[in-house]
Amino acid sequence: MVMVFYNIPIKKYQRILLIEGEEIDAAECIRRENEENNVYIFWKDDNTYIDASSTEKIKYINHGCNCNCYIDEDESGNLVLIASRDIEAGEELTIDYGYEEIYEECSCKSCDNKLESAA
């Protein structure tokens, strides 16, 4: 499994990575998810999604149940990856993928809880 990590410590709320990709609307997002199995699409606002499947690093960030990163929007409206806590050098970067299938695949307590609250 490929993992993403940095050789330097990252501070809480530090911006780690700009998420670049193609801007698409909701209908196109659904089409790509269903027909192309594309799971690298990030929600931006009501009808705007970012398809980051061409951004190598983002693709390799694994789902983490107690993740140390999250996606947010910066002042310019770009999606960025932010540290949700202090991260040590060499620690794997993870985000919560935030969809039901990933919680079903994972059997940890945290995902069980999320699945229950989504049901």
Q: What is the 3-state secondary structure (H, E, C) of 43-80?
A: EEECCEEEECCCCHHHHCCEECCCCCEEEEECCCCCEE
Least distance CB 22 / Zn ion (angstroms): 29
Sign (positive or negative) of CA dihedral 64, 65, 69, 74: positive
Least distance CB 45 / Zn ion (angstroms): 28
Binding window for Zn ion (CB under 5 A); candidates: 38-46, 54-62, 84-92, 111-119? 111-119
**Token pair belonging to 16:** 């780690």
Please tell me the distance from the alpha carbon of residue 47 to that of residue 26, in angstroms, as a whole number: 5
For Zn ion, which is the closer residue by CB, 16 or 65?
65
Q: Which residue bears the tokens 């310019």?
A: 76
118 contacts Zn ion (rule: CB under 5 A): no
DSSP letter for 28, please.
H
**Single residue of 43, 108, 113, 118 touching Zn ion by CB under 5 A:** 108
Per-residue interface string for the shown chain with Zn ion, residues 58-77, x marking contact by CB under 5 A = -------x------------
For Zn ion, which is the closer residue by CB, 65 or 80?
65
Point out which residues bind Zn ion (CB under 5 A). 65, 106, 108, 111
